[in-house]
Amino acid sequence: MSSGEFVSQCTADSLARVAQLLKDGGLVALPTETVYGLGADATNSSAVARIYKVKGRPADHPLIVHIYSMQSLGDWADEIPSYAISLARDFWPGPMTLVLKRSILAEDFVTGGQPTVGLRVPGHAVALALLAAFENIGGQGIAAPSANRFGHVSPTTAQAVQEELGEYLEGKDQILDGGPSNVGVESTIIDCTTEAPRILRPGAITIQMVEESTGLKVSTIETDIRVSGSLENHYAPSAIVNLNRIPIAGEGFIALAEIQTPEKVIRLASPKNVDEFARVMYSALRDADAKGLNSVVVAEPAGDGLALAIRDRLMRASKGR
């Protein structure tokens, strides 16, 4: 068995085996609609410690716990406000993580030592089927940050996981192939520990959607809660990422399809709209490294909603690693 063996036929039998592997302390890279995650049993401290080791991730950086349904919210969180229930009802399964006051089930090794826990029900058939199989054998949640080395570009395909982490995984670990991620940027993270929801990381669930669901104005009060992907330099390829300038010969270029490619510039992606931009952005940045480019220029999409999340990730990528 090679490191991180692929499971591409995600049948009920193979998912039952992978669920048992998780229960036994193994790691599983799993597809979600946002990006691929590197999963471990969220109640197993030594398995979770291996996530940190494989990723090279700082130990105080919290993980998101993936659960099968909102029915499990009460297992992991205490003092759940009614607006958090509204959000869960409206947007789960989906690209949204809720940060809540943790229960005793959520231990320091998952929360980064904070009194809060991030929870999500992913909107991907394979991830949900694995969570169901895991629950069937007594599993309570899968802790899963993105399946990449810390600070690097998040993977949106199983192949990208293999390239990124293959050498760090052990023979028993598995990579589930569920096809390319549909959203392409990480989940919106919403702090639900105060009177009103507060967005800690933008994503496909927008401020407007949150306000419509809850009937509350999104809070802008500063917070000291640490969450995944919030460091200033993150999501960065080896190439230098430059924003919103005209590219020169030999540079990579990512821009909406309507923007022309200057002569001798290497076009990496020409998405037709913002949704497609989010979907292809990370694979285009990876492609820049595969092509050995030193510099990539990105023309950022304007607007709010998902465009805001794209600009957030690009701003962090432009700070390098």
Residue 302 belongs to domain with CATH number: 3.40.50.11030
| 23 & 59 share domain | yes
pLDDT in tens, 171-185: 999 999 999 999 999
Residue 125 inside a domain? The answer is yes
What is the domain range of residue 174?
Answer: 5-214
**With 60 as the cut, is the pLDDT of residue 1 above it?**
no
| 120 & 179 share domain | yes
| 122 & 158 share domain | yes
Identify the pLDDT of residue 3: 60
The mean pLDDT of 287-305, rounded to a whole number, is: 97
| 247 & 298 share domain | yes
Identify the pLDDT of residue 11: 86
The mean pLDDT of 267-272, rounded to a whole number, is: 98
Q: Is the pTM of this model over 0.75?
A: yes
CB 148, CB 56: distance < 8 Å: no
* Sequence letter at residue 6: F
Residue 228 inside a domain? The answer is no
| 210 & 245 share domain | no
pLDDT in tens, 11-22: 889 999 999 999
Domain count within the chain: 2
| 178 & 259 share domain | no
C-alpha closest to that of 244 among 258, 255, 235, 232: 255
Residue 54 inside a domain? The answer is yes
Identify the pLDDT of residue 2: 45
| 250 & 169 share domain | no
| 34 & 97 share domain | yes
Q: How many CA atoms lie within 13 A of 132 on its CB side?
A: 12
Average pLDDT of the chain to the nearest whole number: 95
Residue 97 inside a domain? The answer is yes
The CATH number of residue 73's host domain is 3.90.870.10
| 208 & 256 share domain | no
**With 90 as the cut, is the pLDDT of residue 224 above it?**
no
The mean pLDDT of 105-117, rounded to a whole number, is: 97
Residue 248 inside a domain? The answer is yes
**With 60 as the cut, is the pLDDT of residue 170 above it?**
yes
Q: How many percent of the chain have pLDDT more than 70? A: 98
Identify the pLDDT of residue 194: 94
| 277 & 197 share domain | no
Alpha-carbon torsion 189, 190, 191, 193, what sign? negative
| 73 & 157 share domain | yes
Interior CA angle at 158 toward 6 and 19, to 5°?
55
Identify the pLDDT of residue 40: 98
| 40 & 187 share domain | yes
Boundary (domain end) residue, out of 214, 232, 253: 214
pLDDT in tens, 8-59: 768 889 999 999 999 999 999 999 999 999 999 999 999 999 999 999 998 8
